[in-house]
Amino acid sequence: MKEDLLIIGAGGHAIVLVDIANKMERFNSIGLIDNQVLKGNVVCGVPVVGSDSDLGSMLDENPNLKVIIGIANNAIRHKIYLRLSGIFKLASFATLIHPSAQIGVETKIGHGVAIMAGSIINSETHVDDFSIVNTRASLDHENYLGAFASAGPNVATGGNVKVGEGSAVEISSTIAHNLTIGENTIIGAGSVVLKNCDSNSVYYGTPAKFIRKK
């Protein structure tokens, strides 16, 4: 029996999650929740069914309701989670994994995670809660992608790479083996990271260099 799923948000990231949920054939996407889009609008075939203020009553009517935050921005996704955590238990947050994703043995994938089409997560990698592994991203063996972090489309990491909570490794970036990216750090698009990167910082380039504090 399919589980009813609400997606928070009605933008580009949310419509990708609609597609993944449909392809998984495990969830029934009953609607989108968005404070900026009027109830009744239809996005990617799914109706906007309300705003944050409606979530409590929806959960009362359907205690087994699942939810996922369909917001790509790491910091905003974290803020929304903090707002929703008073309504939903952690176990209520669904993880969506595209059927074409390749998941290695002894991997650990947390709650509220989105894993997109064509992505690869190799053995003994830990993808923590509410993180995003985007289209065709590749995380090699024994990686750690922190909570509320993201690996953009076509990102590639070597083995034993650690990406801290809230950090964003942007599209087509590459991180060499055995490196650590601190928390809340941005690795700019197309960068090649050959050294550890500090927390709360922006890095960019080939090789990636410190640009500024975030």
pLDDT band at 89 (very low <50, low <70, confident <90, very high): very high
Res 179 pLDDT > 90: yes
| pLDDT score of 1 | 81
Question: Where residue 214 falls among pLDDT bands split at 50, 70, 90?
Answer: confident
Indicate left, alpha or beta for 80 from its phi (over 0: left) and psi (-120 to 50: alpha): alpha
Q: Is the sign of the CA dihedral 208, 211, 213, 214 positive or negative?
A: negative
Q: Which two tokens stand for residue 44?
A: 């990617």
In three state form, how does the secondary structure of 125-137 look?
Answer: CEECCCCEECCCC
- pLDDT given for residue 29 in this prediction: 84
- CATH code given to domain 3-92: 3.40.50.20
- What is the CATH number that goes with domain 96-208? 2.160.10.10
Query: How high is the pLDDT of residue 170?
Result: 98
Spatial separation of the C-alpha atoms in residues 100 and 23, rounded to whole Å: 10
pLDDT digits (tens, 9 = 90+) for 46-71: 999 999 999 999 999 999 999 999 99
Pairing of strands 168-169, 186-187: parallel
Model confidence band, residue 145 (pLDDT cutoffs 50, 70, 90): very high
Helix, strand or coil for residue 180? strand
Domain with CATH 2.160.10.10 in the chain: 96-208
Q: Does pTM top 0.85 for this prediction?
A: yes
- Delimit the CATH 3.40.50.20 region(s) of the chain: 3-92
Rounded to an integer, the average pLDDT of 136-147 is 98
User: pLDDT class for 44, splitting at 50, 70, 90?
Assistant: confident
List, in order, residues 6 or more apart from 127 with CB less than 8 Å away. Answer: 107, 108, 109, 110, 113, 115, 121, 133, 139, 145
Cβ contacts of residue 16 below 8 Å, gap of 6+? 70, 114, 116
Determine the 3-state secondary structure of 31 from DSSP. Answer: strand
**Mean pLDDT of the residues in the chain:** 96
What does the alpha-carbon distance between residue 147 and residue 72 come to, in Å, rounded to a whole number? 13
> With b meaning 16 or more CB within 10 Å and e meaning fewer, what string describes 17-40?
bbbbbeebeebebbbbbbeebeee
Banded pLDDT at 173 (limits 50, 70, 90): very high
